[in-house]
Amino acid sequence: MANHNPKIEAILTAIITPVDTEDQFNETAFREQVERQISAGNGIFCGGTNGEFFALTEAEKRRVAEVTMEQVAGRVPVVGHVGEVSTAECVRAGRFIAGLGVDAVAAITPWFVPLSQEDLHYHFSTIADALEVPVYLYNIPARTGNTIAPETARRLAAHPNIAGIKDSAGTYESLTGFISVAREIDGFAVFNGPDSLIHQGFVDGCAGAVSGLANVAPREINSIWTRFKAGDVEGSRKQQETVTSLRETLYKVCFAPAAVKRAVRLLGYDVGDSKYPVRIGAAQETQMREILAAHDISR
């Protein structure tokens, strides 16, 4: 069996990156969002898709991680995303982020260039060889064009420094493929990405979930986990139904990370606009306000 580090078990919020009117990282607003998540019982996944890592400079990515660690101060688990297109850049980012004291790092599959399963095995093995902090694979094929196959995850799970996978493929079939690996290899953890599958993931053996929607509904998302952990499986399932409804309606308005960030702003937090050119009009804002009210989501 692989000699993995103790696995994290929690809801981790894929936290947004607030910006000011000049489109620069807003540290004060970010600290407020970190506190909001901690108050709800959630850990932090910083620099991920909802953190708009692909639109941040290297300096911004580093500062986001630094401020996260300063604000969290050991109170909840922190996973720092270090995914880049090249293996060497992932290692360089990983060494910096690991040096801040994060509990683990995660790396998205490289994008733009189609990669074979052997390429992906080399990429993640090289990252894990170079770092002393636990490494999570991050599978999100709709955004990168590259998919980690369950068999590749099984091979990588044998590495003593690869602790698990965050699966954001969006299907139950994909999730169960990785859960089967976790059942075979002690210490390999699966984190569910889609907010619609959080409860079912726990039923099937996921260690946790990385939730973008938790930026909007931190208590509601956390409740799926806490109810399940307390043995209230039916209560967890019912809470999931509410969250799934919120997700389905909100994400129809516009691209999910942009919708999440604007929804947080509509709740009264000064988080600014998206870093990418998704423009949200007054009619869409009205839709969002109605969706938040219908699901009883408030500040």
Catalogue the active-site residues: 138, 166
Which residues, other chains included, contact 75 with Cβ-Cβ below 8 Å and sequence gap of 6+?
A: 38
For 230-267, b where at least 16 C-beta lie within 10 A, e where not — what string?
eeeeebbbebbebbbebbebbbebbebbbbbbbbbbbb
CA 276/CA 101 separation, integer angstroms:
30
Which residues, other chains included, contact 209 with Cβ-Cβ below 8 Å and sequence gap of 6+?
A: 11, 12, 191, 192, 193, 195, 198, 201, 202, 221, 224, 225
H or E stretch at 236: helix 233-250
Return the CA Rg of the chain. Answer: 18
